[in-house]
Chain A
Amino acid sequence: MKPYIAILTARFRTMLQYRAAAVAGLWTQVFFGLVLIMIYEAFYASSDLPQPMTFAEVASYVWLGQALLALLPWNVDTEVRAMVRSGAVAYELCRPLDLYNLWFMRAVAWRTAPTILRAVPMTALAMFVLPWIGLEEWRLQIPSLTTGMAFAVAIVCTLLLSCALTTLMNITLLWTVSADGATVMLTVLVTLFSGMVIPLPLFPDWAQPILMALPFAGLVDLPYRIYSGNIPTSELPRVLAHQIFWTATLVFIGRWLLVRGMRRIVVQGG
């Protein structure tokens, strides 16, 4: 376990160097968050029909989405890509570690560091600054202790699910080298089916069973709705089962592919 933790902390420190970019990104995200909330506000004002989510729940959902954007598996690890291109990936094979675990830990570090950098100030803004400047109804709700804890557990599973997907994409690099195609496909699938475009319950009712069965719901929609109270805490075991089932499946596929990829690997040059 020790070498994996070392990888985690080393990458963490590298990521934390890019603080200026994080501040600029934060401002852009606040802007997008405000626009999104105004759009929902206008939609909710246009219809008297009962909706599957209240406006306050959607507002919390939007802010969580802005705070945790970096947690989504929308690209391959640039370091792994560079290694596959240059041939340095051969060094990875020399390490006395399980390659899948190594890449998984890299992914964990790679997703966690920027997420924490962004989530803390964004949460502070959306939770406390918004009501302070008179936009009480747009705020990120403060959860009760039980919902907060349920959300914490669910978001850890989200991290694992996201990293399983990232690692799977990294492994496709062994075949494609550039991973352009895989990245495009995954970005489309993740943005649409995770709930990043709009909360999944707002999609038509006939689409709900499909959306809820796919692995992507566990990345955004399920944990965020636990937070906002749209899914009661008593449902937490079902959410976790969904996330863990998909994580395990993706890890299994990833490991199987990695073994096959290693058998045919050609190291590019010296």
Chain B
Amino acid sequence: MNGVRLYFRYIGVSIRGQLQYRGSFILQSLGHCAVTAIEFLGVWALFSRFGALRGWSLAEAAMFYGLISITFSIADAFARGFDLFGNMVKSGDFDRLLLRPRSTVLQLIGQEFTLRRVGRFAQGAFILAWSISVLDVTWSPGKVALLMFALLGGVCLFTGLVILQATSAFWTTESLEVWNAFTYGGVFMSQYPIAIYRPWFRRIFIYVIPLACVNYFPLVAVLGRKDSLGSPESFQWFAPFTGIAFLIVSLQVWKIGVRHYQSTGS
């Protein structure tokens, strides 16, 4: 069985397992949807009170909001297995994964596909669709492709972040929650165009954890606006590559971590 088929077999099992508790699943998905929806209600209220945000309208901001919500919900559902990794190191269960003749990454992401993230996904998709329907963007096949490309880059970037967070557990034997600021905090920050933040803060998310490259820059190109940060259009079209590169680097760091691994022996 090749890796891809094995992965689908894994997540098939995981999804069937989650659907056993149907009532709980529906409530949790709805809850996830509602909690993220009220967040957007806050965004709406601020725009109606202040009119605009440094030249951005609500509909434009909604595009950033919608895309990052979709991106994160996919990445979170997909890479959740790495979240559980800290406990595996602590309990020594990771040893079992090393004994199997398959890559550790495949086994970890195959552990769980978190279906209830569908709530956040639906909410993000709805807001993105609303934004597209209200905005007067001239669409071209290229722009649709760029939007998909940004989504792909974003999923890669978040997956990379989760992998880095898990990798730190090789040294600390505990999944470090300090990374949450970059994952959950990064999503929160990306809900608005990054141009509104202070320059020192922007630099972190352009150069260190390139979230701006999978959300802000490609969307500026989609919206057809002139970037107030002064990035050239050609860069905006290729920016999502950074997310893929980030994932590749994270996987290399993971490999170093695996080599460094010492079982807790428990």
Contact = CB atoms under 8 A, between A and B. Distances in A.
For chain B, the bracket of interface size reads: 35 or more
A197 B42 CA distance: 6
B185 A28 contact: yes
Interface stretch (B27-35, B77-85, B126-134): B27-35
Contacts of B180: 24, 28
Contacts of A21: 177
A46 interface: yes
Contacts of A24: 176-178, 180
Contacts of B198: 38
Contact of B46 (A34, A43, A45, A181): A43
B31 A188 contact: yes
Contacts of A45: 54
A16 interface: no
Contacts of A35: 185, 188-189, 197
A32 B185 contact: yes
The winner among A45, A51, A184, A204 for most chain B CB atoms within 10 A is A184
Interface in A30-76: 31-32, 34-35, 38-39, 42-47, 49, 51
Contacts of A49: 50-51
A237 interface: no
Main secondary structure of the interface of B (DSSP, over half): helix
Interface residues on A, range: 20 to 34
- The DSSP consensus for interface residues of chain A is helix
B31 A38 contact: no
A209 B45 CA distance: 16
B259 interface: no
B38 interface: yes
A32 B27 CA distance: 27
Given A25-B177, A202-B49, A192 B41 contact: yes
A85 B196 CA distance: 49
Contact of B34 (A39, A42, A51, A188): A188
Nearest to B201: A38
6 contacts: A31-B181, A32-B185, A35-B189, A46-B51, A46-B54, A187-B35
Interface of A: 21, 24-25, 27-28, 31-32, 34-35, 38-39, 42-47, 49, 51, 178, 180-181, 183-184, 187-188, 191-192, 197-198, 202-204
Q: What 5 pairs between A and B have smallest CB-CB spacing?
A: A184-B31, A24-B177, A197-B42, A31-B181, A42-B196
